[in-house]
Amino acid sequence: MKINFPRIILTCTLTVMSFANASAQNNDAATEAKIDQLVKKMTLEEKISMLHANSIFTTSGVARLGIPGLSTDDGPLGIREELKAGGGWAPANLTTDSATFFPNGSAIAATWNPSLANRYGIAIGEEARARGKNVLLAPAFNIARTPLCGRTYEYYSEDPFLNSQLAVAAVEGIQSQHVAACVKHFALNNQETERGRINVEVSERALREIYLPAFKAAIEKGNAWTIMAAYNKVRGEYCSENNYLLNTILKGEWGFKGIVISDWGGTHSTVTAANNGLDVEMGSRPPYENYYFANPLLDSVKAGKVSEKTIDDKVHRILWVLYKTSLSKNLPAGSLNTPAHSKTVYDIASESIVLLKNDKHLLPLKTAGLKTIAVIGDNATHMNHLGGFGAGVKAKYEITPLQGLQNALGKTVNIKFAQGYRARVINPWQKNKNDKDVDVNKPDPALIQEAVNTAKNSDVAIVFIGGNRDYESEGRDRKDLSLPFGEQALVDAVTAANANTIVVIIGGAPYDINKIKKDNHTIVWSWFNGSEGGHTLADVLTGKVNPSGKLPFTFPVALHESPAHYLHTFPGDSLTAIYKEGILVGYRWYDTKNITPLYPFGYGLSYTNFAFSPLHTDKKDYKLNETITVTTKVKNTGKIDGKETVQLYIGKLGSAVERAEKELKAFKKVMVPAGKEVTVRLSIPVKNLAYYNEQSKKWVVEPGKYKVMTGASSRDIKSTVTISVIN
Ligand code: BGC
């Protein structure tokens, strides 16, 4: 008897699915009806009270109708501590509000692993729930247009595809905990210099191809429930009152149903902002009743300048988000500082660390017979959960690199520490008159001498340098790429004193490490890697973890070679930044202009070696509605297991319009056991080869030939095949 199981299963699945869809629609319809009812019951005053802050991180609800307010909190690094009621930004000094410190944005991006971004989202979402927040002001993923941007460490990448994959995964994780993600900063907040006044002029094509894709993906695929309008202007209008960005694109084209929240103090008008798409005004300075979206908005409605329908739409959006969060069924309790969250931090951090150079095979450290290690540099003991201006987290704990090494090797190895340099940052808002002439970047001869003495008498010297969260900060951009605090002099001196010197650089953005690349044989890049940062770094150095991080942005040889600087468009003239480089951002610029970077996008070594087989595409010619399937094999030719990221780039041959030499279109990180080979399959819908045509205002796939490239970085292409797209 022939039983057609697959068909039966398929029919059942379809029935279950359509039942699920129908019930989701019923739920949606029921919620919509409830929302409409609630809005009808509210007075105009009650509605307006929901549209602006009533403390730094909260808005009002309507208690008589059982409507809670919004309880927001930063941010990407962890759930920020509570603030003293009415005390401005002063902490409440509670004993119950410490939280897990998560790796920074560029660290998450360096994992090239969306499943880790998703775990980050779930864990931080659980912490937000446990702390009673319904909106988490994260993730932040503005494009790394210039390496100097003070918030590069908070953001992900210079590439819109990598950005999108991580943003969607993080948003889905956060919202799985019934906490709204607030994706930020919409849009083009790519520099901190004059961020509150700068006007960005950008071509429509660069806007669509480079700066918007991750926001679009976070809204359309990730279903982010809230979004934060950026501080800056775009094409002459503040982002918080930018009709094109908020009404036309976000709420119109992308069908966004959630809340547009202003950045803190980033609202500049009542009527324009209300009519052009802003829903909630946040800020940190009372009196809140005078906010644009408080009494002035009430007056504007009464005067007929803003319709009550517009107000109802904003309230509707807030209620829609509340029904997905605080008012949702089966609201999880959340959890704080759990071992599982620490494990998530550990796993992210261990996949983020980038091995830049290992020419002497000094790493992983051969611990047998190792007697003394000199641990040198302020960054070996520097904590990064707090620092600088902007969002930090009162970490329950943070393991420093020195503690990590002590925990890993302290029983058998004599670990000696020397500070090496003093990490002093004089922030503009902290400057006093005695600081006027202090050169914080001057090497300290006494500390260097002490470091040299320590290094001389040790088997290995590990120098921890780089930035920290005072040096890389919201609110200002770095002046240049040079290493701060006299660190280069320290590295030179220690390297001369000990032939087994390892340089570990900790930072969230590119630095000038030309000299180190030239003079040093062993270089490791690490990030502000969260509560478990020191443990993961020690485990990478000792080989318990085989590094697999890949750079999420290009390190230029010189700042003036990077696009915004080459074209003199940073930080802008007369408060206008013209993005003259257009679509040629990051590696798109270096590759197209044939400029060799110091370290390319996607670069990162391993303790093992990988061999890529030639790539295969499933066909040679593709129609517009088809998908290109690419297969390649990756063989681990070394002796230890390792993870490799196969990066798939596409380049149009003979395009009628300007195109980048190559664009990342897919990637996959795979574990390959020693001596084994794995097959990696990647797919690209042909429609993803499109460029944005400014004349027709449409995405257009040009017919013709395309190069399909697989590589281990943007500059390490292993195999290329040409395919054709036919109409
Ligand atoms: C930042 C936001 C942050 C907000 C609240 C602003 O200065 O730009 O990213 O969420 O402050 O702390």
Q: What is the 3-state secondary structure (H, E, C) of 507-571?
A: CCCCCCCHHHHHHCCEEEEECCCCCCHHHHHHHHHHCCCCCCCCCCCCECCCHHHCHHHHCCCCC
Q: Report the predicted TM-score, pTM, of the whole model to 2 decimal places.
A: 0.96
Last residue of a domain, one of 295, 322, 349: 322
Q: Is 74 in the pocket of ligand 1 (CB under 6 A)?
A: yes
Query: Residue 194 to residues 200, 211, 262, 479, 565: CA-CA distances in angstroms?
Result: 11, 19, 17, 14, 17
pLDDT at 6 over 60: no
pLDDT at 651 over 50: yes
**Nearest Cα to 466, choosing from 445, 449, 448, 481?**
481
Position in ligand 1 atom list of the atom nearest CA 185: 9
Q: Both 135 and 282 in a single domain?
A: yes
Which residue out of 137, 151, 193, 194 has the highest number of ligand 1 atoms within 8 Å of its CB and is therefore the one to mutate?
137
How many A from CA of 203 to the centre of ligand 1?
27
In a domain, 430, yes or no: yes
Q: Is 264 in the pocket of ligand 1 (CB under 6 A)?
A: yes
Query: Tokens representing 186?
Result: 């919409």
**Nearest Cα to 510, choosing from 544, 555, 474?**
555
- State the DSSP string of 84-120: PTTSTT-B---SS--B--PPPHHHHHHTT-HHHHHHH
Q: Round the average pLDDT of the chain to a whole number and report it.
A: 95
Q: Both 343 and 467 in a single domain?
A: yes
Q: Both 225 and 298 in a single domain?
A: yes
In a domain, 648, yes or no: yes
Q: Both 290 and 359 in a single domain?
A: no
Round to whole Å and give the CA distance between 431 and 442.
18
Per-residue pLDDT of 391-432, as tens digits, reads 899 999 999 999 999 999 999 999 999 999 999 887 766 667
The band of 257, judged by pLDDT with boundaries at 50, 70 and 90, is very high
Residue with the nearest Cα to atom 11 of ligand 1? Answer: 264
Q: Is 378 in the pocket of ligand 1 (CB under 6 A)?
A: no
* Interhelix angle 5-41/308-324, nearest 10 degrees: 130
Q: Is 341 in the pocket of ligand 1 (CB under 6 A)?
A: no
Position in ligand 1 atom list of the atom nearest CA 475: 7
Q: Both 316 and 344 in a single domain?
A: no
pLDDT at 384 over 60: yes
CATH number at residue 517: 3.40.50.1700
Q: Is 570 in the pocket of ligand 1 (CB under 6 A)?
A: no
Number of domains in the chain: 3
Q: Both 672 and 710 in a single domain?
A: yes
Entry field: residues in the chain: 727
Q: What is the mean pLDDT of residues 180-191?
A: 98
Q: Is 391 in the pocket of ligand 1 (CB under 6 A)?
A: yes
The band of 390, judged by pLDDT with boundaries at 50, 70 and 90, is confident
Task: Kindly report the number of other CB atoms within 10 A of residue 653's CB atom.
Answer: 12
In a domain, 19, yes or no: no
In a domain, 333, yes or no: no
CB contact at 8 A, 106 and 527: yes
Q: Both 343 and 475 in a single domain?
A: yes
CATH number at residue 181: 3.20.20.300
Q: Which residues of 38-49 are buried (b: 16+ CB within 10 A; e: fewer)?
A: bbeebeeebbbb
Q: Percent of the chain scored above 90 by pLDDT? A: 92
Strand 135-136 and strand 72-73: the pairing is: parallel
**Which CB contacts under 8 angstroms, 24+ apart, belong to 430-436?**
none
**Helix/strand/coil for 714:** coil
In a domain, 559, yes or no: no
How many A from CA of 99 to the centre of ligand 1?
18
Last residue of a domain, one of 322, 348, 382: 322
pLDDT at 9 over 60: no
Residues in a beta bridge with 354: 525
Q: Both 234 and 275 in a single domain?
A: yes
CATH number at residue 675: 2.60.40.10
Q: Which range has the worst mean pLDDT, 13-22, 260-269, 307-316, 587-596?
A: 13-22
The band of 289, judged by pLDDT with boundaries at 50, 70 and 90, is very high
Task: Catalytic residue, from 73, 74, 159, 263: name it.
Answer: 263
- 432 or 675: whose pLDDT is higher? 675
Q: Both 537 and 646 in a single domain?
A: no
Residue 74 appears among annotated catalytic residues? no
Position in ligand 1 atom list of the atom nearest CA 231: 8
The band of 75, judged by pLDDT with boundaries at 50, 70 and 90, is confident
In a domain, 279, yes or no: yes
Q: Both 303 and 358 in a single domain?
A: no
In a domain, 562, yes or no: no
Q: Is 73 in the pocket of ligand 1 (CB under 6 A)?
A: no
pLDDT at 698 over 70: yes
Q: What is the mean pLDDT of residues 588-615?
A: 98
Query: Which residue has tokens 């003199």?
Result: 568
Q: Both 303 and 346 in a single domain?
A: no
Q: Both 586 and 539 in a single domain?
A: no
pLDDT at 18 over 60: no
- 25 or 678: whose pLDDT is higher? 678
Last residue of a domain, one of 322, 349, 380: 322
Per-residue pLDDT of 265-288, as tens digits, reads 999 999 999 999 999 999 999 999
| Domain range for 597 | 578-601+608-725
In a domain, 317, yes or no: yes
pLDDT at 4 over 70: no
